[in-house]
Amino acid sequence: MMKTLLPGSLSATGQQITLGVMGGGQLGRMFVQAAQAMGYFTAVLDPDPASPAGLVSHFHIQTAYDDEQGLAQLMQRCEAITTEFENVPAGALFTLGAHRPVAPASACVAVAQDRVREKAHFVRSAPRSGVHPAPYAAIDTPELLAAVPGDLLPGILKTARLGYDGKGQVRVNDRAELAAAWESLHRVPCVLEKRLALRAECSVIVARGADGQCVSFPVQKNTHRDGILALTEAYPGAVDAALAAQAQRATEAIAAELNYVGVLCVEFFIVDDANGTPTLVVNEMAPRPHNSGHYTMDACDLSQFEAQVRALAGLPLPTPRQHSPAIMINLLGDLWYDAHSARPAAGDAPLSPPWAAVLALPGTHLHLYGKLSARRGRKIGHLTVTGPDVAAVRSTAAQALALLGLPGLDG
């Protein structure tokens, strides 16, 4: 049972209440910062001495995620524990959960970290959620590979585990390519998904408390480039209002069906049904705050990270209200790449994105994650643009994109 951990109170042993997080990436960092803003102490478990969250946390336990001593230290330190990425070994969360409140629970993370179980959950939830996943087949034996229905091709072969930002995915057009792709993925368990003609993509963040109370954030429209989220647009009209409401209800049903506690993101495709009517297809879920929800930090009266803190601490979860239209631009390592790789000639100033010009635009909010090296495709930060109305936000975002040398809003 989850008890309320009031901000600013002391634990039974007279210590500051400490909230823990498994994983020290940018999502852990923003969780830590939200928890600290409310007066909690924080602890991060991540093996990387320079992890973005470890750098800003009160305590940083630098061990592997399944290190027994590391887990014991985390439990000793923390009154409650969450996770910032789904690839924490579910066994580690199970161990923690035996001794401390853990949200989301290991059973929920275990579903989200395996595409086969995740899709089965979507199918199971469909009577309540009203949405279905893309047609798919699980492949983990040569027999299942051979038995794949032909109408799943052209398709996308995705590893069941450990895929992110389009990694662990191969697009295949026919059976020969499918067989070669499975070989190239070392015959690990996979799902083959039918490739759909996407009109658009959107996602929903919900926060659900231990009492079953569930609130939705406004629905955002996502643009991916090379399998990585590039842009999120969050304002009335970015996603058709009826589809957005349906996506929120579906996400709440998917969370309820798991008895989920914490912040959950569900991604959807918008495709045309047989009659040419736009309709939702559920893609995948993340048992944590999500890149597409970062706009909530600057555009809503409750951020997805504060919601994660509240759900973990057993605090109330009022419905979030978006006060400004927003566009979030992901800042990938590519923006710094030349500075870090091309070795500028002696005397050349290192390249850096033109922050002074970007920040001179009204309503720009820069978030950098403290990563010490930029790599192509690595998420180094994000920029959220807010404004008084949709036209102003789109115009400012277009200027910011141009200054950063990124494709425009409709490009």
Residues that bind ligand ADP in the complex, under the rule CB under 6 A: 134, 156, 158, 163-166, 193, 195-196, 198, 201, 224, 227, 267, 283-284
Residue 336 DSSP label? T
Least distance to ligand ADP from the beta carbon of 266, Å? 11
CB of 137 to ligand ADP, least distance (A): 12
Looking at 78-237, list the stretches that DSSP marks H as alpha helix, in order from N- to C-terminal side. Answer: 90-97, 106-112, 115-129, 142-146, 175-184
Could you give the count of Cα atoms lying within 13 Å of 32 in the half-sphere of its Cβ? 27
In angstroms, give the least distance from the CB of 225 to ligand ADP: 9
Rounded to whole angstroms, the Cα distance separating 72 from 43 reads: 12
Q: How far apart are CA 195 and CA 155, in angstroms?
A: 4
Sign of CA dihedral 381, 387, 392, 393: positive
Q: How far apart are CA 340 and CA 351, in angstroms?
A: 8
Pick the closer one to ligand ADP by CB: 156 or 313.
Answer: 156
Helix (H/G/I), strand (E/B), else coil: 251: helix
**Distance of alpha carbon 146 from alpha carbon 158, whole angstroms:** 17
Q: How far apart are the first and last CA of the chain?
A: 49
Q: Say if residues 260 and 274 touch (Cβ distance below 8 Å).
A: no
CB of 195 to ligand ADP, least distance (A): 4
- Give CA angle at 21 (210, 319), nearest 5°: 40
Question: Rg of the chain over CA atoms, in angstroms?
Answer: 21
Residue nearer to ligand ADP on the CB measure, 272 or 338: 272
Note whether 204 and 251 are within 8 A (CB): yes
Comparing CB distances to ligand ADP, the nearer of 77 and 290 is: 290
Residue number with CB closer to ligand ADP (227 or 316):
227
**What's the CA gap between 220 and 294, in Å, rounded?**
10
Nearest CB to ligand ADP, comparing residues 223 and 399: 223
Please state, in angstroms and rounded to a whole number, the distance separating the CA atoms of residues 170 and 161.
Answer: 14
CB of 271 to ligand ADP, least distance (A): 8
Of the pair 164, 337, the CB lying nearest ligand ADP is at 164
When the beta carbons of 193 and 306 are compared against ligand ADP, the nearer one is 193
Minimum CB separation of residue 223 from ligand ADP in Å reads 9
Q: Closest by alpha carbon to 160, among 110, 103, 197?
A: 110
Q: Which is nearer to ligand ADP, 79 or 284 (CB)?
A: 284
Report how far residue 23's alpha carbon sits from residue 42's, in angstroms, rounded to the nearest whole number.
12
Crossing angle of helices 26-37 and 304-313, rounded to 10°: 70
Please say which residue, 226 or 301, places its beta carbon nearer to ligand ADP: 226
